[in-house]
């Protein structure tokens, strides 16, 4: 495989969920031996926190599971992302709808929900933990780990074919 598979995770502010998804997925891909075949990033649909580090609560809970989010900084999705990324996964339906309205129709096939890859949970979205209690950050990690494992299984098949 010569070209890396580029994957972008999206939430509203690139502050809680999408940085967590980037960190969890990167960690799980590395453990599976797939990281050399992947380009992994995250972004926001809004411009609320551009340049900010992830929510300290997200970083703290991720660190408890051995995942480092400290090098990440929030950025907003750009028109070039629709062309440059092979897969763009939103954390919820609202952000997916925002992506669909901004994305040129020829790239709509790249858009989806991360939780479509979950195998242990029947949740269809990753809930936003920002305004909730501390348990929400653990739930986000549980859901993202589940969906990341499913996505890695899907990508492993594609990488093996290529």
Residues forming the active site: 11, 17, 128
Structure tokens at 72: 């990440």
> How far from the centroid of its chain's Cα atoms is residue 111's Cα?
12
CA 25 – CA 153 distance, rounded (Å) = 12
CA 51 – CA 35 distance, rounded (Å) = 25
Run of H or E including 112: strand 111-113
Phi-psi region of 60 (alpha: psi -120 to 50; beta: other; left: phi over 0): alpha
Locus of tokens 């551009």 = 50
CA 112 – CA 54 distance, rounded (Å) = 23
Beta bridge partners of 8: 41, 88
């Amino acid at each position: 495989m010569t070209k890396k598979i580029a994957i972008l995770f999206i939430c509203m502010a690139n502050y809680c969920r999408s940085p967590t998804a980037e960190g969890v997925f990167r960690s799980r891909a590395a453990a599976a031996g797939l990281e050399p075949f992947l380009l992994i990033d995250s972004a926001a649909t809004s411009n609320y926190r551009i340049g900010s580090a992830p929510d300290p609560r997200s970083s703290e809970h991720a660190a408890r599971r051995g995942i480092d989010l400290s090098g990440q900084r929030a950025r907003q999705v750009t028109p070039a992302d629709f062309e440059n990324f092979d897969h763009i996964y939103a954390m919820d339906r609202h952000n997916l709808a925002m992506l669909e309205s901004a994305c040129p129709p020829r790239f709509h096939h790249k858009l989806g929900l991360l939780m479509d890859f979950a195998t242990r949970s029947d949740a269809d979205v990753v809930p936003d933990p920002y305004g909730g209690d501390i348990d929400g950050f653990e739930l986000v990690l549980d859901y993202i780990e589940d969906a990341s494992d499913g996505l890695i299984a899907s990508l492993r098949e594609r990488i093996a074919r290529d």
